[in-house]
Structure formats: C-alpha cells, structure tokens
Amino acid sequence: MSRRNAGARLDTALGWGAAPGPVAFAARVLLYLVLVAVFSGPLIALLVSAFGPVTDPTRLTLIPRGLTLDNFAAAIDRDVLRYLANSFIVVGCGLLLQILVSVSAAYALARKRFPGLQLVMLLILSTLMLPEEILAIPLSLVLADVPILHVNLIGTLAGMIVPVGAWAFSILVMTEFMKEIPAELEEAARLDGAGDLRIFWSVVLPLCRPALGVIGIFGFTMIWDQYMLPLLVADDAAQFTLPLALRTLRSDDQVGLGVLLAAALLALLPSVLAFLALQRQFMRGLTSGAIKG
C-alpha cells in the first residue's frame, strides 16, 4: 500500500473514506442509521408520547397518532408550572453565583502567587471526589444553622442556591484557561495605570468567553438536574423543583404515563435550549486548548 493510500485510509475511523463501491457505501449508511436510531430514538419516543395518548407503558411508539395537549394540561393541573418556575429561579440565581465565584477564584489562583497555592488547589480538587450521599447529612446540618449568620435555610429556595454557588469543576476549568492568557497583556494594562479589578474586568474576562460557555453549560446542567439537594432542603411540595416533582408524579397512581412524559419533556427542554444558545462558545472552549502553542 502506498503512503498516499495509507494516509487516505486514516481519514476515517474505520478507513472507509478510501473504500469505494456500493458495499462500503451501504455499510456507512447502515452504521449512521443505527447511530441515529440509538441516540435519537428515545428522544423521539418521548416527544411523540408526550403529545399523544399512552395506553401501554411497555410500548412507546415513534409514530405520532392522535396528537393532543391533554397530557400537558393535566401536568399543569398538577402544579408542574410552579415546579418549573422554582427550577428556573434556582438555576438562574445559582448559575450566576457559581460563575461569579468561579471567575473570581480562578483569577486569584491563575494570576496570583501566594503561600499555600498548591494546597488550595488540592482542596478544591478533593471536593470533586466526594459523592453527594456523603455530604448530605453535614450539608443539611450546615443549612439548618449557617455558621456566623445563624440563619436557617431549610425550606427556602436560597438553601438550594447557596450550596451550588461554588463548584470545583468550574473553578478548575476557568483557572486552567486563565493560565493560558499571556502575561504581557496584563503587564501592558498595568503600565497604563489599570488596577487588578480593571485588568480582570477589561482584559482577562473578555478573553475567557469560550471557558464561560463551557462552565455555563455544565453548570446549568448540574444545577438543573439536582435531586439530592432539593430533597434535603424542601419541606413542602410548593418548594419542589421539577426533577424532584417528577419523582412525586411517578409515585402517584392517578397520574398517567403520558402526563409524566409531558413533565419530563418540560424538564428536558431547558437543558437543550441552553446548549443551543451557548454551543458556539462551548465548542470554542473545548477546542481552544488543542490549538494553543
């Protein structure tokens, strides 16, 4: 095999890019159809079943029949809109707080040098290794009596917002991204008389938009999918977020599967819309490390 042909066969994962003929074409089409069916099939079944009657929970269909909004009407009667509003409040305030904490902590860790820097990074990294089940009881005790302030956040949406304000993943992503920003830009700004706050706001932060897209999408998904935290904090059904309410709806024998799927579709859409809104920054953030240097 010549070098040119060998390089061509490496253009695709299986070397099919250089394989002519109807057999190779049919194999590629079949593989693509299988992948599409595996990844999009459950989503299509969810979409169709949410807008149609579900008579047999073991046989979800991909073909829409008798489309109706009755499932959504029944879900609204079950206060799904209130749970959805609670989720939006928690994710909106929590994500804003998380981004503020992440960029501030990352600027200090990436652009400053102080004793114990490595220890601080190790402590932040160690929080990623603790499962939620281990933190559940200590977290509930802290929220019941917040140190220094001595405020009880149990039974409030604030109790679901404050714990997600600092996430080690977002801090580490922002820290590594800020480390790649040339120090010459910061030095030039200091020569112009800019202070730390002005450098952070006008020089460093605008260059971190790709990383902000990454932590924005992952942070939104992490907060939106929270189940353990609302379960610990909420002491009334009026404080439930949508993921927690889905579990309640599932355990209610009077709620049909179609209503549950309609509520699940409402829980899925915000994450999809958030990714579509930030996908450009997200892709730039994922690929920026590959093109540096």
Q: Where are the domains of the chain?
A: 3-68, 73-291
Whether residue 161 contacts residue 153, with contact meaning beta carbons closer than 8 Å, is answered with: no
Q: In which element (H, E) is residue 264 found? A: helix 257-291
pLDDT at residue 4 above 50? no
Q: pLDDT for 11-22, tens place per residue?
A: 555 555 555 678
Please, how many CA atoms are within 13 Å of residue 214, restricted to the half-sphere of its CB?
Answer: 22
C-alpha closest to that of 211 among 241, 183, 237, 176: 176
pLDDT at residue 9 above 50? no
For the domain 73-291, what is the CATH code? Answer: 1.10.3720.10
Say what percent of the chain tops pLDDT 90: 33
Q: pLDDT for 194-207, tens place per residue?
A: 888 888 888 888 88
